[in-house]
Chain A
Amino acid sequence: MFLSELGKLLISGDLWGPGLQFGALLLLPALGGVISERSGVVNVAMEGMMLTGAFFGAIVVVDTHSVLLAVLVAMLTGGMMALVHAFFAIQFKADQIVSGIAINIAALGLTGFLLPIFTNGEGVATLHAPLTLPNLDLAFLDHSAGVLGFINEVFLQQNVIFYISIAVLLGMQYLLFHTNIGLRIRSVGEHPQAADTAGINVRLIRYLCVITSGLLSGLAGAFLALGVAHIFNPNMTEGRGFIALAAMIFGKWKPWNTALACLIFGLGTELQYQFPLLPTTGIGIIDTPLHSTPLLAMIPYVLTILVLVGLIGRAVAPAADGLPYEPGGE
């Protein structure tokens, strides 16, 4: 009974649909991390950029009733946080992890400080249909069953940002490994001195890459607030930026592998909502954790640690990742 239900769950659209959604939510900041670290700037600030994007997205959509504008503002504010990080990391050669953590704390403080001011102390109320990011809905597939139903449920009813994130994934893979610009980005991350000698503007490339990661994280923030949760709460990102970071490491700084890692984390996230629906087995040691909210909430975090632990030694970061670039003369 239990096992057959578990089997059904593992191939059901109820798991894979939201799993892919949560995966896409992680994919955007993770890809931002990929491009930032490929250019040699460690970025642990995706969390803060996401939170900033989520906050400004929610505020703008409430004020202007324009979802498109909200998404743009979310991306821009995420990008501005990234610009601060880039400024300190590249211009001042700050320690990039400390600077990233500072961005995270600043985002937490800024959004929490501004929330009561922008909303007269009431917070953002739950957002409803015209103010949220819409899901794709193909009416003629609504009643399909079997494989077609599964495909419809999993791939064709997703949020618009899901499809954008897939496009970003394809674009990122193409950009990094099939274009001149990608070659330059990777050379800057591997050997900035050599890249500089070849006439590449190291600082400019790094700025652009870090800002791109901010734009993507801001977009993910808007996705989170307007597409998934339909509300803004203080600290609503709950470590997702860091899980995306782990996914990036797990994916060995490669877009495809990172996407796979995000999918695993996304499914793990959704499992915590699906497990309590399973029937009981009668065996306490299995039933208790499967029906305990706090224990299930640990799944993504424990998964992240396990992935990190299981993998090390094989993942190699870009050679100049985290090292500020010093032009030869200095």
Chain B
Amino acid sequence: MAASTLEQPAANQELPTAGFGERARQLALRVTPSLSAVLIGILMMTLIGSLLIIITAPGNLGFFDRFYITSAAYSLLVAGSFGGWANIANTLGMLAPLVLAGFSVAVAFRAGLFNIGAAGQIAVGGTLAVILGIRFGSAPGWVLGPLVLLGGLVGGAVWGWIVGALKAWRGAHEVVTTIMLNFVAGYLSEYIVDCSSGCLPGIGSIRVASQPRTMQMGPGAALPLVSHIINLIHPGAIASETSYPLDIGLFIALAGAAFYWFLMQRTTLGYEIRAVGQSQKAARYAGINVRRNIIVTMTIAGAFAGLGGAIIVMGPDHQQSIPDTFFLNDQTGFNGIIVALLGLNGPVGVVLAGLLFAALAQGANLMQSDAGIFASNAVVGLPTNYSVRIEFIQFAFQAMVLLVIAGQIVPQFRAMQRRALASFMSGFRSAAARLPAVMLGLLILVDVAAMAAFIGFIIVSLVSLQSVVALDTTVSAIYYVDLDPLFGLLLVFYVAGILLLLLTLGIRFRGRWRKQAGAPSLLAEAFSTSEALAVAPLMSSQPLTSSEAGNGDPMDPAR
């Protein structure tokens, strides 16, 4: 059994004899934790965001006004991210770099490494892509496009390789080195672009509004827009191609997801990476070269992020030119951490979590637009310069999700609740033997009701906005939004629903959450998986080389 497991890495996950129904069930089991994690993420975000908005609204506002602002804000958020094709295209257009950054973090997590350096890898990849795009700007698109993508990939891979090499050979902890390399990469990018303090000749710098920027990349370095492709197939289908800024980077990212799945589940390398992540000792005894795997993993992680960097600069947002401090301030790499954690490092989960983040970012853009929230401020008598700083709500949300995942709070909270319930029940246990089942049933009922309320709330908000907002355009059309106490009531109901949902989801996915959450060696408390056990018997047949036996545990990070 052990030997066959080694030869066929995936054999212990899907038995070849399993029928279609069994395989579907297994797939569902594997995807549900990601789905529920993303769902909990959404709920946490709405809850925390609502509270922040309600608390920080100016003091002269009444109770319902505060709820009204909240609901208006979230309606705008939903409308801005998914209302109308233009907004959907915008949202999907943001997806690719986020997802690739997410996979960059996720692949490192699988090897038990915490890659905070996606930002730096994106910066180096993106900068190298820009340099190539300018140097070979005259090349035709079918040469230049792949070349620039490849440049991003290689740049990120090199930056990731540095981290892996330092970790493997010198034991430098990757959390510190990646953060330091983020700054180095950001300044490197600035150095190359900004000619006031020496730059790469021919790359920097034209000044736009006194900010140094790079020259234009060649026209072939722009990723084709999906709307353009649709127009090629059905001429005249879309009047204004540039209003739908979704490029084919999305498909590159989805291909990346497929590659990630294949790498992790169907190749020896992926198996080794996961084994190293489960337990470096066990992996070493099984004959896996741990150092090599650390380096390879970080290189792959960097390549993912670097590809994302290339897609950022090749996208329609930047007109093929970046300002000097762009990569110093870009948050994609850090959002990638949350995307990976929220997506539980799975291919489906990361894409879904990326979608959630892209929707947040795109919706936030809309909420930031003066016309959106300021005009509605005037209606309820707010100072017009009060705006809901949704991008920082995002930060709060990220931190909270991280803490939830880090603490695995949901199951722990459930355990606390259960203990309290048990002590409460112990007095009349016999009489109430059936009560837990009844309660669970009730809970599920309330759960369904809360879900319905949640959906209903969104629909009501959207419908009432729809009458005044042309969702397909920008929101400059909001002049008046009907103030309805119903919003407040619905909101109370739905916040309660969120809480209940959180708890009930906690019950249902507790076991699987614990098993699959996060990076194996980082977040799981012990290694006891079938894989690790499967390789254990091999220890006897694998002679230890002297270097591995002598050093104690050289792979342990020094801190």
Question: Do A and B truly interact?
Answer: yes
Interface residues of A (CB under 8 A from B): 42, 44, 84, 88, 92-95, 97-99, 101-103, 105-106, 108-110, 112-114, 116-117, 120-121, 238-239, 242-243, 245-246, 249, 288, 291-295, 297-298, 301-302, 304-305, 308-313, 315-317, 321
* Docked-complex contact A249 and B559, CB < 8 angstroms: yes
Task: Give CA–CA (A94, B409) in the complex, Å.
Answer: 9
* Docked-complex contact A99 and B407, CB < 8 angstroms: yes
B183 CB within 8 Å of chain A: yes
Interface of A is mostly: helix
* Contact count band on B: 35 or more
* Docked-complex contact B399 and A103, CB < 8 angstroms: yes
Task: Output the least CB separation between B348 and chain A (Å).
Answer: 22
Nearest chain B residue, comparing its CB with the CB of A310: B170
Nearest chain A residue, comparing its CB with the CB of B166: A309
28 contacts between A and B (CB under 8 A): A44-B175, A92-B407, A93-B407, A99-B402, A101-B116, A101-B175, A101-B337, A101-B402, A102-B403, A103-B399, A105-B334, A105-B398, A105-B402, A113-B389, A120-B385, A239-B179, A246-B180, A288-B198, A293-B197, A294-B187, A295-B187, A298-B183, A302-B184, A305-B166, A309-B166, A311-B558, A312-B172, A317-B559
B398 contacts across to A, CB distance below 8 A: 102, 105-106, 109
* Docked-complex contact A315 and B559, CB < 8 angstroms: yes
* Docked-complex contact B558 and A97, CB < 8 angstroms: no
Task: Fill in one digit per residue for B383-399: 1 if any A CB lies within 8 Å of its CB, else 0.
Answer: 00100010111111111
Nearest chain A residue, comparing its CB with the CB of B171: A312
Do A313 and B558 form a contact, CB below 8 Å, given A112-B392, A249-B176? yes
A293 contacts across to B, CB distance below 8 A: 194, 197
B191 contacts across to A, CB distance below 8 A: 292, 294-295
Task: Fill in one digit per residue for B12-39: 1 if any A CB lies within 8 Å of its CB, else 0.
Answer: 0000000000000000000000000000
* Docked-complex contact B522 and A239, CB < 8 angstroms: no
9 additional contacts (CB under 8 A) given A99-B407, A308-B170, A312-B171: A98-B114, A102-B400, A109-B392, A110-B396, A113-B396, A117-B56, A239-B183, A246-B180, A312-B172
Task: Output the least CB separation between B528 and chain A (Å).
Answer: 16
A99 contacts across to B, CB distance below 8 A: 402-403, 406-407
B341 CB within 8 Å of chain A: yes
Closest 10 CB pairs of A and B: A109-B395, A106-B399, A113-B392, A102-B402, A92-B407, A94-B406, A98-B406, A294-B191, A312-B171, A94-B407
Nearest chain A residue, comparing its CB with the CB of B52: A113
Task: Output the least CB separation between B526 and chain A (Å).
Answer: 11
A302 contacts across to B, CB distance below 8 A: 180, 184
Q: Which of A105, A117, A249, A291 contacts B395 (CB 8 A)?
A: A105
B523 CB within 8 Å of chain A: yes
* Docked-complex contact A309 and B170, CB < 8 angstroms: yes
Task: Output the least CB separation between A180 and chain B (Å).
Answer: 27
Nearest chain A residue, comparing its CB with the CB of B196: A293
Task: Fill in one digit per residue for B179-209: 1 if any A CB lies within 8 Å of its CB, else 0.
Answer: 1110110011011001001100000000000
Task: Give CA–CA (A309, B177) in the complex, Å.
Answer: 9
B412 CB within 8 Å of chain A: yes
Task: Give CA–CA (A294, B385) in the complex, Å.
Answer: 35
Nearest chain B residue, comparing its CB with the CB of A47: B179
* Docked-complex contact A109 and B399, CB < 8 angstroms: yes
A103 contacts across to B, CB distance below 8 A: 399
A304 contacts across to B, CB distance below 8 A: 176, 180
* Docked-complex contact A316 and B176, CB < 8 angstroms: no
Nearest chain B residue, comparing its CB with the CB of A295: B191
Task: Output the least CB separation between A115 and chain B (Å).
Answer: 9
Nearest chain B residue, comparing its CB with the CB of A239: B183
* Docked-complex contact A315 and B558, CB < 8 angstroms: yes
Task: Output the least CB separation between B184 and chain A (Å).
Answer: 5
A105 contacts across to B, CB distance below 8 A: 334, 395, 398-399, 402
A243 contacts across to B, CB distance below 8 A: 180
A101 contacts across to B, CB distance below 8 A: 114, 116, 175, 337, 402
B522 contacts across to A, CB distance below 8 A: 95, 97-98
* Docked-complex contact B385 and A92, CB < 8 angstroms: no
B294 CB within 8 Å of chain A: no
* Docked-complex contact A313 and B171, CB < 8 angstroms: yes
Nearest chain B residue, comparing its CB with the CB of A234: B392
Task: Output the least CB separation between A198 and chain B (Å).
Answer: 25
* Docked-complex contact B198 and A305, CB < 8 angstroms: no
Task: Fill in one digit per residue for B325-338: 1 if any A CB lies within 8 Å of its CB, else 0.
Answer: 00000000010010
* Docked-complex contact A294 and B176, CB < 8 angstroms: no
Interface residues of B (CB under 8 A from A): 52, 56, 114, 116, 166, 170-173, 175-177, 179-181, 183-184, 187-188, 190-191, 194, 197-198, 334, 337, 341, 385, 389, 391-400, 402-403, 405-409, 412, 518, 522-523, 525, 558-559
Task: Give CA–CA (A245, B173) in the complex, Å.
Answer: 11
Task: Output the least CB separation between A166 and chain B (Å).
Answer: 26
Nearest chain A residue, comparing its CB with the CB of B179: A242
Task: Give CA–CA (A203, B339) in the complex, Å.
Answer: 32
Task: Output the least CB separation between B410 and chain A (Å).
Answer: 11
Nearest chain A residue, comparing its CB with the CB of B325: A294
Q: Which of B52, B180, B197, B395 contacts A108 (CB 8 A)?
A: B395
Task: Output the least CB separation between B227 and chain A (Å).
Answer: 34
Task: Give CA–CA (A106, B194) in the complex, Å.
Answer: 32
B407 contacts across to A, CB distance below 8 A: 88, 92-94, 99
Q: Which of A98, A121, A316 contacts B405 (CB 8 A)?
A: A98
* Docked-complex contact B389 and A112, CB < 8 angstroms: yes
Nearest chain B residue, comparing its CB with the CB of A108: B395
Q: Which of A102, A113, A245, A292 contacts B176 (CB 8 A)?
A: A245
Task: Give CA–CA (A246, B558) in the complex, Å.
Answer: 12
* Docked-complex contact B395 and A113, CB < 8 angstroms: yes
Task: Output the least CB separation between B48 and chain A (Å).
Answer: 10
Task: Output the least CB separation between B8 and chain A (Å).
Answer: 32
Task: Output the least CB separation between B185 and chain A (Å).
Answer: 9
Nearest chain B residue, comparing its CB with the CB of A110: B396
A88 contacts across to B, CB distance below 8 A: 403, 406-407
Q: Which of B52, B56, B558 contacts A317 (CB 8 A)?
A: B558
* Docked-complex contact B188 and A110, CB < 8 angstroms: no
* Docked-complex contact A116 and B389, CB < 8 angstroms: yes
Task: Give CA–CA (A199, B378) in the complex, Å.
Answer: 63
Task: Give CA–CA (A108, B348) in the complex, Å.
Answer: 29
Q: Which of A98, A114, A308 contacts B173 (CB 8 A)?
A: A308
B523 contacts across to A, CB distance below 8 A: 95, 98
Task: Output the least CB separation between A9 and chain B (Å).
Answer: 20
Task: Output the least CB separation between A196 and chain B (Å).
Answer: 19
Task: Output the least CB separation between A5 and chain B (Å).
Answer: 20
A98 contacts across to B, CB distance below 8 A: 114, 341, 402, 405-406, 518, 522-523
Nearest chain A residue, comparing its CB with the CB of B162: A305
Nearest chain B residue, comparing its CB with the CB of A302: B184
Task: Output the least CB separation between B191 and chain A (Å).
Answer: 4
Task: Output the least CB separation between B521 and chain A (Å).
Answer: 10
B176 contacts across to A, CB distance below 8 A: 242, 245-246, 249, 304-305, 308
Task: Give CA–CA (A114, B52) in the complex, Å.
Answer: 10
A242 contacts across to B, CB distance below 8 A: 176, 179-180
